[in-house]
Homo-oligomer: A and B are copies of this chain.
């Protein structure tokens, strides 16, 4: 395992893979202490961001949750902003990868509307059940100061493209004739899914029920019988 030069301060997406490695029980053998700590910080930041939002996220909270002092954060990230961007980037990348994987696993001949349904379920479950990173990304996308948006939006555009194709392929007949309408449709659907983070809590309804409703809504909206 190659030693990184010195202070590991740089923005790199922390992939879901790396994160999972950390969450599993694999002994540290392959990881430097520093990787571990960096991950702990990112995890803590993702959680706080998902709960408190961009402006409410304080380094003190992140440090407390990571069981470190504030100044230690600066050993790994050059600034609060860099840390936030790293989380959001990770979050955006994670859903995308997760959904891409789900789609890749499908049989080749599957109907477009079914592909879209798979994406809906994958996205929704990831946001609600799995990743604070993605919840953070979803909730804070619009709350970030101008100069931080560029990077995050680029990643999100990538995901958006995938979805647009899913929607375009699934649209039947002559509904939603214009590209603008189909773009709107895609964003309305993703909005419906993303907005769940604002209202869903495990106590009132199961994820399954939400997924079920979302799937019906989408299938019908796209013209399935």
Contact = CB atoms under 8 A, between A and B. Distances in A.
Q: State the copy count for this chain.
A: 4
Interface residues of A, number: 49
Contacts of A199: 187, 191
A10 interface: no
Interface of A: 6, 53-56, 69, 139, 141-143, 145, 175-176, 178, 180-185, 187-200, 204-206, 209-210, 212-214, 216-218, 220-223
Contacts of A216: 175-176, 181, 185, 221
Contact of A55 (B56, B196, B222): B56
B188 A213 contact: yes
28 contacts: A6-B69, A53-B53, A53-B55, A53-B142, A53-B143, A142-B197, A142-B198, A143-B143, A175-B220, A176-B216, A178-B209, A180-B204, A181-B209, A184-B205, A184-B210, A184-B214, A187-B199, A188-B210, A188-B217, A191-B192, A191-B195, A191-B196, A191-B198, A191-B199, A192-B192, A194-B195, A216-B221, A218-B221
